[in-house]
Amino acid sequence: MQDETFDIVVVGGGHAGCEAALAAARLGARTALVTIRFDRVAEMSCNPAIGGQAKGQIVREIDALGGEMARVADSSAIQYRLLNRSKGPAVQSPRAQCDRRAYAQAMQAVLRRQPNLHVLEETVADILARGDEVAGVVCESGRRLSARAVVLTAGTFLRGVLHCGPKTWPGGRIDEAPADRLSQGLERLGLALGRLKTGTPPRVDGRTLDYMRLEEQPSDPEPVRFAFDAPDGPFDGLPCWLTRTTPPIHEAIRANLDRAPIYTGQIQSTGPRYCPSIEAKVVRFPDRGHHQVFLEPEGRGTHVVYCNGIATSLPEDVQDVLVRGIPGMERATIVRYGYAVEYDFVPPTQTQATLESKRVGGLFLAGQINGTSGYEEAAGQGLLAGINAVQRLLGREPVVLGRDQAYIGVLIDDLVTKGAEEPYRMFTSLAEYRLLLRHDNADRRLAPVGRRVGLVSDTVWRRVEEKERQIGEARRVLQTVRRGGRTLEAILRRPDVAWTDLVRDVPDLADLAIAPEAARQVEIETKYAGYLARQEAQIERTRRMENRPIPADIDYGQVPHLRNEAREKLARVRPRSLGQAGRIAGIGPADQAVLMIYLGSRA
């Protein structure tokens, strides 16, 4: 069979693959997106929600860089909530409940319209390599696609096995076959594989719920949307509903632990500690009488309701007892039982900060295959992998986002430096500079990067420049106009004074007609100026260390006085800078100092 030739092949049409393929095609590369089933492209395997704590920031970063997730989420949102609205700006995160079908269909439509992009329904069986360089892929059908870069985003499909009680069967997720052959191909290329697990709750028919017994969780009426150019304004959202588990349910779960795959030894791999199944919660927190259950509609045109908080792989009869024991769900009909999936991943310390494999040149990895969990984490990596695959083909500098620049930077740095012992998800607490990495300033942080690469259009760029201009103008007025002997800036720092108060009282400010988004920036940056200055100073100190490069050919065996454990870990991760070396688990400041002295002696 004749090889078909592309610049870049992206394997997998999940959240990582869609962003990777769109970025590559938009940057001019002839791109193939190879995925098992087109109708399942951009499927939300678990809950139909985008954003949330720290994830909402990632979605806005994707938008700022020129990715797609924010727009698709806005087009299919059925409920918005700004989480932590009453807390500081560093931890506020937008979240949207989406229409599951509408989300997938909107993304599929974007892919179909994208010039340079060819979507092929195939299962990739192997990666082709010439020496240490990737050369393309082979599909199970025998079709061969040659390419100079391959982005692998296989999600939960590699040797995927599903579990529901004692039943196990092969699958990438419910009703979808796994990809069984590719794992061997990766091992043959010298990549080590690990195994992880995740799970999902049952879904019920919304018509069988007793809404009088549930607590309503309304949508924000004037929501914060994800895309920076989405129009503001009112939104007609659907409510979600809150209820809780009860002690008798916990008893029933305890009585059936001998049939729970995570306790019988049937599931061997590690699941996400932060997002445990209901059986794990009952075992880990024996004193808690209740756990919250959020009932979230899956769309406007469906009665399916997702039961957030009771992920489980208990047998079906136990799931019946569990669901019907919950207040408001006594007559609920389960339309899909919860289950767990185990799958292969590529432990990400084998991957560089560019998301390119250390072993195979031109092979990029993104998403769940790198040990993460979550649509946003996957999409953020996919976007960067797509960008860097093109940068490599063009012989340009790769894009590596710093920890002080983006949550996506924190995510990738954590993965490639520390690895993933369990499915990794992003939290605001993982970012040391979270006051700088806010959702509201993602465009100011990252649109210049997207513009430099070529993903940010002229129209979007003009909007970013206009916002900067307005911020500059507002600052000038705040710093120069005085009231009662104090600058407006000093007055705005007071906790009881808001931007809107100043605009009402000061004609110079009102005349500027600053857009709400720009005004919000000025207000936050004025009120938190002290904290922000301290974070900037800390970044500067860290940057000096971060920027101290470690030569790629360093032989850690030759570094005197280095502890054996440190030597081993450094040799495995091969950090690119002293800063990254310091973040490897088990590498302390003393090891970093030894390394710094050695590098100084070589200079």
Ligand X SMILES: Cc1cc2nc3c(=O)[nH]c(=O)nc-3n(C[C@H](O)[C@H](O)[C@H](O)COP(=O)(O)OP(=O)(O)OC[C@H]3O[C@@H](n4cnc5c(N)ncnc54)[C@H](O)[C@@H]3O)c2cc1C
Interface residues with ligand X (CB under 6 A) are 11-17, 34-36, 40, 45-46, 123-124, 153-157, 172-173, 179, 182, 198-200, 275, 341, 367-368, 373-375, 378, 425
Smallest gap from Cβ 17 to ligand X, in A, equals 5
Structure tokens at 586: 């088990």
Q: Of 233, 240, 172, whose CA–CA distance to 209 is shortest?
A: 240
Looking at the Cβ atoms of 58 and 550, the one nearer to ligand X is: 58
CA distance 229 to 464: 10
Looking at the Cβ atoms of 123 and 256, the one nearer to ligand X is: 123
Smallest gap from Cβ 301 to ligand X, in A, equals 22
Smallest gap from Cβ 89 to ligand X, in A, equals 24
Tell me the backbone φ, ψ of residue 479, rounded to 5 degrees: -85, -20
Smallest gap from Cβ 553 to ligand X, in A, equals 33
User: 575: burial class by Cβ within 10 Å (0-12, 13-18, 19+)?
Assistant: buried
Smallest gap from Cβ 160 to ligand X, in A, equals 8
- Spatial contact of 387 and 453, defined as CB atoms under 8 Å apart: yes
- Is the C-alpha dihedral spanning 363, 146, 369, 113 positive or negative? positive
Q: Of 373, 370, 372, 367, whose CA–CA distance to 350 is shortest?
A: 370
Looking at the Cβ atoms of 355 and 378, the one nearer to ligand X is: 378
Q: Are strands 194-200 and 304-308 parallel, antiparallel or unpaired?
A: unpaired
C-alpha distances (whole Å) from 37 to each of 42, 306, 587 are 11, 23, 44
Looking at the Cβ atoms of 124 and 460, the one nearer to ligand X is: 124
Looking at the Cβ atoms of 20 and 587, the one nearer to ligand X is: 20
Looking at the Cβ atoms of 203 and 467, the one nearer to ligand X is: 203
Q: Of 248, 252, 10, 258, whose CA–CA distance to 119 is shortest?
A: 10
Helix 407-418 with 375-393: angle, nearest 10 deg: 80
Smallest gap from Cβ 543 to ligand X, in A, equals 31
* Residue written as token pair 């632990």: 257
Residue 430 carries which DSSP code?
G
Looking at the Cβ atoms of 179 and 353, the one nearer to ligand X is: 179
Smallest gap from Cβ 440 to ligand X, in A, equals 23
Looking at the Cβ atoms of 183 and 470, the one nearer to ligand X is: 183
Structure tokens at 192: 């080590």
Looking at the Cβ atoms of 149 and 456, the one nearer to ligand X is: 149
3-state secondary structure 524-550: HHHHCHHHHHHHHHHHHHHHHHHCCEC
Structure tokens at 200: 């999902």
Looking at the Cβ atoms of 184 and 264, the one nearer to ligand X is: 184
Residue 564: helix, strand or coil by DSSP?
helix
Smallest gap from Cβ 503 to ligand X, in A, equals 40
Smallest gap from Cβ 598 to ligand X, in A, equals 39
Smallest gap from Cβ 444 to ligand X, in A, equals 27
Helix 69-76 with 55-65: angle, nearest 10 deg: 120
Looking at the Cβ atoms of 363 and 478, the one nearer to ligand X is: 363
Smallest gap from Cβ 312 to ligand X, in A, equals 11
Helical segments of 94-170, H only: 100-113
Tell me the backbone φ, ψ of residue 143, rounded to 5 degrees: -65, 135
- Is the C-alpha dihedral spanning 355, 360, 362, 368 positive or negative? negative
CA distance 166 to 516: 55
Looking at the Cβ atoms of 237 and 271, the one nearer to ligand X is: 271
Smallest gap from Cβ 50 to ligand X, in A, equals 11
Helix 100-113 with 15-26: angle, nearest 10 deg: 20
Smallest gap from Cβ 488 to ligand X, in A, equals 44
How many of the other CB atoms lie within 10 Å of CB of 183?
A: 20
Helix 375-393 with 15-26: angle, nearest 10 deg: 30
User: 564 Cβ partners below 8 Å, 6+ apart?
Assistant: none
Looking at the Cβ atoms of 182 and 191, the one nearer to ligand X is: 182
* Residue written as token pair 């939104």: 235
